[in-house]
Amino acid sequence: MRVLVTGHLGYVGVVLTPMLQAAGHDVVGLDSDLYRNSTFGPVSELPTVPNIEKDVRDVTIADLEGFDAIVHLAALSNDPLGDLNPQLTYDINHRGTVRLATLAKQAGVKRFIFSSSCSNYGAGVESWLTEESAFNPVTPYGISKVRSEQDLLKLADDNFSPIFTRSATAYGVSCRLRFDLVLNNLTAWAYTTGKVHLKSDGSAWRPIVHIEDMARAFTAILHAPQEKIHAQAFNVGRTEENYTIREIAQIVAETVPGSTLRFADDASPDKRNYRVNCDKILNTLPEFKPQWTARKGVQEVYAALQKHGVTLDEFEGARYKRVGQIKSLLETGQLDETLRWRVAVSVS
């Protein structure tokens, strides 16, 4: 299968792309590479596939011809970054996604896998949330994902299958590592300061999923018969991998030697609070076999921090935090106000 992966140079994309290649797919990437300064480890670990170096909003129908499927990862990828400029978030994450899918359908692409999010559920009001639960997003990022799903569903027909992967909060190590995700963040706090620093009271629930398991879900959906996945949403993770933030922090404290739990002076409940049932994807797609747990993930992140000797300055700096990196590129004039590069730089 010939597959286009948008955002293939991002946190998840650098893990997904080689997994698709290993499964025998012909993979092409599409990425403006906003995070080219955020590589964790050697640049040689980045995927080596043909890249359409382009902002997802600037894609043409010619870019999409000849592909059997698109895995659409490219987005402003978390709540703080979405809050930076909500209208720009909607422009990229919502309107850019719908435009891409519309062109893909016109180009004859059959399958469009949209990387959505459990942030769609936002302030969850039910005990356990399934794919049938109501949306209740509380941030521009979550709202952009909900709007995208709703509009992509309108494009579905016998020749075009949109599928929505509502992934749990991601964690794990990649060569485009992020420290602005809860498990990675708490582990880095513990390693660099000896404190597992909680900015909330830790009572909120959150489902979490390793980026390798996210990639396994995308791969399983690519391989599934159309009738099993057409115009459907799948919560991506495992039901038993729902934790309170305090529970994740406790796992970190138990894993990183000498670390202790610490709450911020103004710690308060997080309005993002949801527990998600992920049984549907396991029951529908037998190929999907997630392999990670929170404890195993903390061990992986801790080992990577040790290997690379990450310092507190690096952890707190802009390099591995998406909103910090974007702010830095804006302040130095490398990006314009629409988050496009002012001067094109080739991607290796």
**What are the angstrom distances between the C-alpha of 147 and each of 72, 75, 152, 324?**
15, 14, 9, 26
Residues 208, 74: Cα–Cα separation, whole Å: 20
Per-residue model confidence (pLDDT) at position 84: 80
Question: What residue ranges do the domains of the chain occupy?
Answer: 2-177+209-240+273-292
Residues 93, 82: Cα–Cα separation, whole Å: 9
Question: 2-177+209-240+273-292 has which fold?
Answer: Rossmann fold (3.40.50)
pLDDT tens for each residue of 39-77: 998 888 999 999 999 999 999 999 999 999 999 999 998
11 and 77 Cβ atoms separated by less than 8 Å: yes
pLDDT, averaged across the chain: 93
Sequence-distant (≥ 6) Cβ neighbours of residue 79 within 8 angstroms: 119, 139, 140, 141, 142, 272
Q: How confident is the model at residue 159 (pLDDT cuts 50, 70, 90)?
A: very high
The two tokens of residue 57 are 């909003």
The two tokens of residue 206 are 């959150």
pLDDT tens for each residue of 34-46: 999 999 988 889 9
- Is the four-CA dihedral 340, 96, 10, 138 of positive or negative sign? positive
Position 242 pLDDT exceeds 50 = yes
The two tokens of residue 19 are 């997994």
